[in-house]
Chain A
Amino acid sequence: DTAVSQTPKYLVTQMGNDKSIKCEQNLGHDTMYWYKQDSKKFLKIMFSYNNKELIINETVPNRFSPKSPDKAHLNLHINSLELGDSAVYFCASSQGLNQPQHFGDGTRLSIL
């Protein structure tokens, strides 16, 4: 019974394509996040989503857009994929703000 689950685990695609990564949490949390971990293991916040309020890290290109159909899901859509988008993307959730976050297993995205 995984708490935060992401699909797919691996995603290999070509430059220019549009892809989505799904995230679901069964913890009843009301805040979800997306992080990007690059090849040097550096982790960077991309989005925070709480009660329909989206907070975006200003450095994230607008090709990236989160979509939340309900409180338990926060999917990540990426348009016009670029080589630099290759990374591991982690979804996380927390119960409210300023609470510890629980992370998913990550999605390794590779752009050819």
Chain B
Amino acid sequence: AQSVSQHNHHVILSEAASLELGCNYSYGGTVNLFWYVQYPGQHLQLLLKYFSGDPLVKGIKGFEAEFIKSKFSFNLRKPSVQWSDTAEYFCAVSINNAGNMLTFGGGTRLMVKP
């Protein structure tokens, strides 16, 4: 079974700092990769996704992620964070022909200080 690891559980940054959140998965086959964000008290929202093609994907709100197949990684980046980016970030993986069920990482709680 596949698994997803997010090594940073809590990240605290000041506004305008650059962000990189790590995500690694374990599965040898073809995967679809996602980053979701959960603002306090809200539901999960899709930030970006990778299915195929250009391994550098751009999402909403200035976020981007890079799929590095050799490293089984899909790290999330943003060059300059804002206070409003304070939220929980989840990396997720789905496997083709597996019911599209998402396997989530443990989440990274990001706090941006104004």
Q: A97-B100, A98-B100, A101-B100 are in contact. Are A43 and B43 (CB under 8 A)?
A: no
Q: Mark B13-36, 1 if CB is under 8 A from A, else 0.
A: 000000000000000000010101
From residue 65 to 114 of chain B, which have CB atoms closer than 8 A to chain A?
88, 90, 92, 94, 96-104, 106-107, 109
Min CB–CB distance A109 → chain B (angstroms): 15
Is A104 a contact partner of B43 (Cβ separation < 8 A)? yes
Interface on A for B, CB 8 Å cutoff?
Answer: 4, 31, 33, 35, 40-45, 48, 50, 53, 55, 57, 90, 92, 94, 96-106
Bound: A5/B52 CA distance, A: 31
Point out the residues of chain B lying under 8 angstroms from A4, CB to CB. 43
Is B107 a contact partner of A100 (Cβ separation < 8 A)? no
In the complex formed, the residue of B with least CB distance to A49 is B99
Is B49 a contact partner of A43 (Cβ separation < 8 A)? no
Is A43 a contact partner of B104 (Cβ separation < 8 A)? yes
7 nearest A-B pairs in the assembled complex, by CB-CB distance = A55-B99, A48-B99, A43-B104, A97-B100, A103-B44, A45-B101, A103-B43
Name the residue among B34, B43, B97 with the largest chain A CB count within 10 angstroms. B43
Does B8 count as interface, using CB distance less than 8 angstroms? no
Point out the residues of chain B lying under 8 angstroms from A35, CB to CB. 102, 104
Q: Is the interface of A mostly helix, strand, loop or mixed?
A: strand
Point out the residues of chain A lying under 8 angstroms from B45, CB to CB. 103
Select which of B49, B96, B104, B106 is within 8 A of A100 by beta carbon.
Answer: B49
Point out the residues of chain A lying under 8 angstroms from B103, CB to CB. 45
Q: A42-B104, A98-B51, A98-B94 are in contact. List 5 more A-B contacts (CB 8 A).
A: A33-B100, A41-B88, A43-B102, A53-B99, A100-B46
Select which of A40, A42, A105 is within 8 A of B43 by beta carbon.
Answer: A105
Point out the residues of chain B lying under 8 angstroms from A41, CB to CB. 38, 88, 106-107, 109
Min CB–CB distance B34 → chain A (angstroms): 7
